[in-house]
Structure formats: structure tokens, C-alpha cells
Structure 1
């Protein structure tokens, strides 16, 4: 007999859902959290922004819900989640029974669109290993009913959500600084690729390297099946720390990347059409349930780094009117991607991310947090700018002129791209050098 899927969350979200019952139109939103083998932890409920400005344009019937709009909201929110956290499912507040025969087809269409959107960019890690989503229906008359949707069988089964006075999870906080200073050569056959295609190829390489890397927890290699909670207790006993049990545990993780999968000493000579250089470091912070293993934590750190880079690059491509292409003259172009800021959720110490473009500050973050997460941030100081603005002139000088101009003939056509992801904590420098070899 298959066990019923269970999820736990804070009872304050019942009050949140109840506020939408007073509206004359239905409300749909996302449930965010961390899945485990035994149960799921929902850390936040967020309403999907009203379609086309809301008001009279808001759909009043479940079958009129814009599925692509909901799916796009799921993609935007996934960018903001730390590694190990996902969009666990949907909630719908309405008088209609969304599990009835008249609504079930529309529900499956919405869930399919969400699944498709979250898997469109594999580097966002939008879907956990399981192919399931929770669906919560809340109404004034019947209160709430929860179901579990299985994508493989396209079927719904019973599930339960328990609203507790206090979500009894002592989240473990893990921090990591991922340092990067690497040059990626571009072979002549790929020299005319657009920058986006180059960066997707590099993301794939970084993703593979992080999957095969060695992760040190507080300076030590731990057994992959060891529980994080056990590690924390051992360290507390050894160091005799007078730490309150209710405080969030903090671990530092160091990543050691493999030298390369090819151990051969042979050197292969290729015709280079340019190079891309990435330099700096990425700040990562994830929050895990106490029973999480070292293997789970390593995967969450890896996901957080790749997801953060992929999110920034996606936002950067979307912001460009058009991508620059080769020209007969030397050109220097600066591509500065958004930087990461952190904000605490109202009911937990878990932090989510927002990304600010150059020149943007806490006011812009307050707007996007309100729209995408339905969070009202009243104090700008509660938005933690963990990366800061990069010193672009200095980066251009060190990362481009010193590395490139002295090694290229003056007659060579070249194009240089630089992208800064913050300077204090994260710097991503991309210098793309393209020259054409005449036969």
C-alpha cells in the first residue's frame, strides 16, 4: 500500500489563504519548500501576481486560469530559491471544486505547463528527483483538500498538509564560496557562436565539474551517508560550544574541483578562435533539514551555484535588445549581470535571493519581492546585499588588457565581453576574444 504524501508548514499560512476567500475572484499561487524521503517542508506560500493587472480582468472561473502565466511565475520564483528548495506545488483558493470532472483537465494542463517551464533550462534545477507536485484547494465551505499529482501516471492521489503552530525544523545553514579563475578556449569552428551559446556550454562544463567535485564540510571529508545533524552534534561536543539548541547551525563547505577526467599526459593542439575567461567567486548559502545527508548537502550546494549563475545569465539575455556580433574593428563590450541579494522569509530564517541589475538598489528588490513572493519588506536594511557592485574599470584593466592585448597581433579582429557578478563576494568576468584566421 502506497503511503500518503505528507507536508508540514506554518499555521500562519492558513490565515494567508483565508484572506483570499473574501475576493470575488479565485486566487492561485505556489507552495515553496524542501522535499525529503519522509515528508515535505513548505516554507512559503506566494500568490501568483494578478493576470493583466487584476481587478475585472482576474479570472473568476477555474477553467479561465492562464496556465502559461502561472508556469512563468514558477520559473521566476525558482530562480530565487536556494539549492535544495523547489516549487513543491500549487494552491488554489476558490468556491469551485478543482478536483471535479469539469476542472480536472484544466488542472492537469496547468501542472503540465509548470513542469515544462521548470525543465526548459536544466541548469535552474527546477524539479527534484520525484515527478510529483502537491495541489491544495482551499475554500470557505470545505476548508482545504490536498492531492498529489504524479506526472508519470498523470494521476491524482490523496495527500495531507499539516499546519503547525511552529514548523519544528531547526534548519542547518551551509555557506560556501566557490572560487573560479579559468580560461575556456574557443576552437575556430565555434568562433562565430553567439555569447549565449558559449555560456551555456561553459555552464554544462561547470555543472559536470561540480558533480564530480570533493566537498569538505568544516575542513573535513565526510562520509556521503553521514547525517548533517550528527556532524553538528559531534563538533559541538568536541568544542564544548555553549550554543542554544534553537539557533541555526552553520557549516562551511569548501569545494575542490577535479583536475580533469583525462589523465593522459598527451597534449592536443587545437586551432583557437578565441577564449572566455571566468574569474572570481560565487557566494552560496543553502538551508537543509537536520536529517539531510552529506550527499544531499553537496548536491544542494552544487545546485545553488549553478542555479544562481543560470538565473543571472537568463535575466541578462532577457534584458538585451540584441546580442553584439563581430565587427571589422576591435570592440570592447561590458556585460554586467545582476548581483545577488538575500532576504529572510517572514515565518522562518531561511533566506531567498533576488537579483538586481547595475544601478538598482533595495527599492527595486522590494518591488520584485512583493510581486513574485508576495512579501512586504518594510525595512530596506533587511535586504542583504551580499555581493556589492563590481569595480568594472579595474576588472576591465586586469582581466582584459593585461591578458589579451599583448598576445594578439595588432591586425587581429577581436571582441571582448566582460560580465561582473559583484566584486566583494561574486565576480564573473567573461572576456570573449574572437579572431578570424585567414587561410
Structure 2
């Protein structure tokens, strides 16, 4: 459990000054940073306020108590001390889900902050704990071992910062909060940067049964990503040319960007295993390069950076899949505006199955979003995903809305290591699932050709030898007859 939390002094002080100048009575938002259970420490990078909802209402406000009617002999009405916070927990959780897509390996939404008076905060601990629990459920994690998040309180009456650890037990109560030792410092000064480019190649068999059931395209892809997750767990890592050994793991002190290479063990090809299944009708092939960054505190070991990168690769693939699904749903909504209710489900099925329902001998390719990296704080990056039809202008609005940051003016500062869009292709089973058999057939054909060529060369060689012997015999006979004729003439 995290016992000590260090916040980036420059960013948190800037946030406090902004809140004090705004004179708003209450605000809620997200805490961005890292939690390390091995060190029992947390690191806060920045605070991001949750924007107003679609109706323009703030996600957090103060609820004034209703004053009872005065009667003879009745006690005085309740004071302002009984006021509490109203928090739109669902909207804060949705904000956390979308912000999580923009964060890189190791950096996550690690909690919730609230700007409110001390007395109002005390009256709202249960609502705040439930909000933290909702955020934890919305934030993607590869492992289901997240059992704590932070609740940061910025009080303006009196002015002070307090941090609490919120236990994510099944029964959230006020007792779920535990105080943490909170202090401000220079978190960014000690960060180490790690980078990895991992080439993903997934071949997923599509059975005839899956086409006739409710199993959707994203379900098939999610199964493939889950398989990749298990494989990445056992992958060895090379950092700056050196194999990472968990038993002798060391801290990293260099300030350069560290290059990480993942080495996967030999694995079975699911498409070849499916070769024997009679009901397999096609193959989904997902391929592309995934670029990942990870940021490591000076007190964290290199193996932590490798674990963060592995998790980031999986979360990035899931995020792209979610974006494709969201885009498909949006297209369905647009297409079905003028369509009767009866045909909506048919449109949905056709949209989701648009690849798997293609003729088996026809290949169909669906580009996936490409990851783009944008400069953030103190040399770090955040990311976003660019659909093939989108431009950088769409990304600018995204950052302003979700992270309350100024729109980047110069797009040349954007880093695009994934030059080509990762793609999903549908192929026939024999075209994609069993290239081994194709290669065997071609090898056999080539072997036959070589044998035929050898036989032909052998025949040619035999014929050539016979012709040479025959010519020599004729020449010998001619010489003998010539000698006899010469001898008779001389007599």
C-alpha cells in the first residue's frame, strides 16, 4: 500500500494558484502519475480538471441543506457546515477512461482530486470514495491487481493539501481512506525514458460457428490480444543491448533514451492449429508496429520499465480496438437515422461483420488508428490516435477538451514512429492460415523441376557422349582405309 506521495511542485502549485484565482466553491478532477506498490510510494505529475458535461453542467457542486421551517421552541436551522458535495461520478469516470488513452506506459490516472472547504469535504467522504471506485473501474489495467487509488484534497479553508489512500474493497465506506505522507518536490528531474517498437502479427481463425452466433469482430480480436498478453508476460527484454535479469535488476542512472527490445519465446501458431478444423472459413490478420514509451523514477528498477512497456502495448491495442468499435457505432447511428427500426440490427451486423463476411477468396483490409506522440511536460510525451481519415487538427481539440492544455501550435513537434497504419485483413483460410503448406507445395514443385532438369541434363550428356564416340569410330575407319589405299598405290 502506498504510504508516501510526492507531487511535482511546479505543476501542483500552478494548479492551486489557478483554483484560488477562479474563486469557484468546488472542483473535481483526475490525478495523473504513478503508483509503485513495491516502493510503497506514489508520484503525482499533474492534475486535470473534469470538464462540464454535455449539458454544460459542472461535474461537482455544493449542495446546500434545506432550512427547516421555524417553529416555537424549535432549534435553529442547520448551518453551512452541513453542506456536502454533489459529484457526477459517471461523468468523472468517463473522463478518466478517455484521458487514459492519452497516457503512456507507467503513467496513469491514479486518483481523484477535489477542491473544497474542510467541512464540506468531511460531509462528502462517501461520495468521494464512490467516485474514486468508479474511476478505478474505468481506467484500463492489464492485471486485475489494482487495489488502491489516491484521493487528494486541496482545502481553501484552511489552505492546505492532504492525501489519502483509498482502498478499493467491495464495500466502499469512509473507513476505506487511509492518510498518506504527502510532500511536494521535483518529480520530473529524475525521470528516465524508455522506448520500444514492437511488431505485432496476429492470425486469428474465424469459424463458421462464430459467424452464425453473436460473437462480434471485436470479440475475436480481443481474444487474440488476450493471447498476446500471456505471451508478452514471458518475453525477455534487452535494454541498451543488455539482457535484463530480474534477479540482478539494477537502477538506471543514464539520462539518454533507453532502447528496449522484447524477445518472445517460440509459440504455436493458432492459425495452423486451426488447420484441422473443418468449420474454419477465414482468417483475421492484424499486423503493424506499436511504439511505446515508459517513464521511470530514479528509485524504480529497469524491470519496472519493461513491465510498464508490456502493459502499454496491450492497452494501446485495446484502445485502438475501442476506437474502431466506437467509429463503427457512430457510422451505424448516422446510417440508421433514416432507416426503420427493423433494419437497424441488420445494419449493425453488416457493419461489424463487413470483413468476415467477404468472399473467402477476396482480401479486405481495415486500417487501425496510428499512434502519434505529442510533447507534454518536461520532455515527456502523451499520445493520441489518428484514424486514416483524420488530421492533426482533430488532435488539438482533443487535448484542449480532455487535458485542459493549450493546443500545440507546431505540428512538426509531433512524433510519428508508426509510419504506416496498423491494419486488419480478412483472408481465406488457405491463403493466410496455412502458408506453410503453400511453401511446402512450392518446394515440392521446385524439387520436381530440378529432378526433371537433372534427367534432361543426363539425357543430353549421354547423347553427347554417344555422338563423340561415333565420330571417333568413323575417323578411325577412315584412317585405316586411307592407309590401305596408300599402300596399294605405292606398289
**Inter-CA distance 288–366: structure 2 relative to 1 (3 Å threshold):** same
Give 1:236's aligned residue.
none
Give 1:204's aligned residue.
226
Tell whether 2:152 aligns with 1:136: yes
* Aligned residue among 159, 166, 177 for 1:149: 166
Give 1:371's aligned residue.
401
* Aligned residue among 357, 373, 396 for 1:342: 373
**Inter-CA distance 104–403: structure 2 relative to 1 (3 Å threshold):** same
Q: CA offset at residue 287 of structure 1?
A: 1.2
User: d(CA) in 2 for partners of 1:98 and 1:177?
Assistant: 48
Q: Which has the higher contact order (CA 8 A, sep 6+)?
A: 1
User: d(CA) in 2 for partners of 1:99 and 1:354?
Assistant: 35
Q: Do the aligned partners of 1:169 and 1:289 also contact (CA within 8 Å) in 2? A: no
- Describe the superposition over 1:330-381 as per-residue Cα deviations: whole angstroms up to 9, x where unpaired: 77654332211112223x2221111122232222111111111111134233
- Describe the superposition over 1:235-288 as per-residue Cα deviations: whole angstroms up to 9, x where unpaired: xxxxxxxxxxxxx332111111121379xxx99832223211122321111111
Q: Do the aligned partners of 2:35 and 2:43 also contact (CA within 8 Å) in 1? A: yes
SS across alignment from 2:197? strand
- Describe the superposition over 1:414-439 as per-residue Cα deviations: whole angstroms up to 9, x where unpaired: xxxxxxxxxxxxxxxxxxxxxxxxxx
Q: Do the aligned partners of 2:370 and 2:386 also contact (CA within 8 Å) in 1? A: yes
Q: Do the aligned partners of 2:282 and 2:428 also contact (CA within 8 Å) in 1? A: no
User: d(CA) in 2 for partners of 1:50 and 1:383?
Assistant: 28
User: d(CA) in 2 for partners of 1:25 and 1:54?
Assistant: 17
Structure 1 window deviating more from structure 2 (57-66 vs 215-224): it is: 57-66
* Aligned residue among 255, 271, 276 for 1:269: 276
**Inter-CA distance 229–311: structure 2 relative to 1 (3 Å threshold):** same
Q: Do the aligned partners of 1:98 and 1:107 also contact (CA within 8 Å) in 2? A: no
Structure 1 window deviating more from structure 2 (294-303 vs 318-327): it is: 318-327
Q: CA offset at residue 201 of structure 1?
A: 0.4
* Aligned residue among 287, 290, 297 for 1:282: 290
Q: Do the aligned partners of 1:369 and 1:376 also contact (CA within 8 Å) in 2? A: yes
Tell whether 2:346 aligns with 1:324: no
Instruction: Name the TM-score, length of structure 1 as normaliser.
Output: 0.76
**Inter-CA distance 4–23: structure 2 relative to 1 (3 Å threshold):** same
Give 2:33's aligned residue.
33
User: d(CA) in 1 for partners of 2:298 and 2:177?
Assistant: 30
Runs (5+) with no aligned partner, structure 2? 64-83, 333-347, 436-491
Q: Which structure has the larger Rg?
A: 2
Q: Do the aligned partners of 2:370 and 2:421 also contact (CA within 8 Å) in 1? A: no
Higher helix residue share: 2
User: d(CA) in 1 for partners of 2:325 and 2:168?
Assistant: 30
Instruction: Name the TM-score, length of structure 2 as normaliser.
Output: 0.68
Q: CA offset at residue 132 of structure 1?
A: 1.3
Give 1:50's aligned residue.
52
SS across alignment from 1:76? helix
Q: CA offset at residue 205 of structure 1?
A: 0.6
User: d(CA) in 2 for partners of 1:225 and 1:84?
Assistant: 21
Give 1:112's aligned residue.
133
Tell whether 2:375 aligns with 1:358: no
Q: Do the aligned partners of 1:82 and 1:286 also contact (CA within 8 Å) in 2? A: yes
- Describe the superposition over 1:174-198 as per-residue Cα deviations: whole angstroms up to 9, x where unpaired: 1111113342223443344321110
SS across alignment from 2:367? coil
Q: Pairwise CA RMSD of aligned residues?
A: 3.4
Give 1:386's aligned residue.
417
Give runs of aligned pairs for residues 215-230 of structure 1, distance below 5 A: 215-230=237-252
- Describe the superposition over 1:55-83 as per-residue Cα deviations: whole angstroms up to 9, x where unpaired: 68863445321100001111111122112
Give 2:267's aligned residue.
260
Q: Do the aligned partners of 2:200 and 2:289 also contact (CA within 8 Å) in 1? A: yes
SS across alignment from 2:154? strand
User: d(CA) in 1 for partners of 2:429 and 2:133?
Assistant: 50
- Describe the superposition over 1:35-93 as per-residue Cα deviations: whole angstroms up to 9, x where unpaired: 22142111121111122354688634453211000011111111221121221111111
User: d(CA) in 2 for partners of 1:389 and 1:371?
Assistant: 27
Runs (5+) with no aligned partner, structure 1? 119-123, 234-247, 409-439
Tell whether 2:110 aligns with 1:88: yes
**Inter-CA distance 126–204: structure 2 relative to 1 (3 Å threshold):** closer
User: d(CA) in 1 for partners of 2:359 and 2:142?
Assistant: 41
SS across alignment from 1:283? strand
Q: CA offset at residue 228 of structure 1?
A: 4.8
Tell whether 2:93 aligns with 1:66: no
How many pairs does the alignment contain? 377
Q: CA offset at residue 95 of structure 1?
A: 3.1
Give 1:309's aligned residue.
317
User: d(CA) in 2 for partners of 1:405 and 1:149?
Assistant: 49
Q: CA offset at residue 291 of structure 1?
A: 2.9
Structure 1 window deviating more from structure 2 (61-70 vs 377-386): it is: 377-386
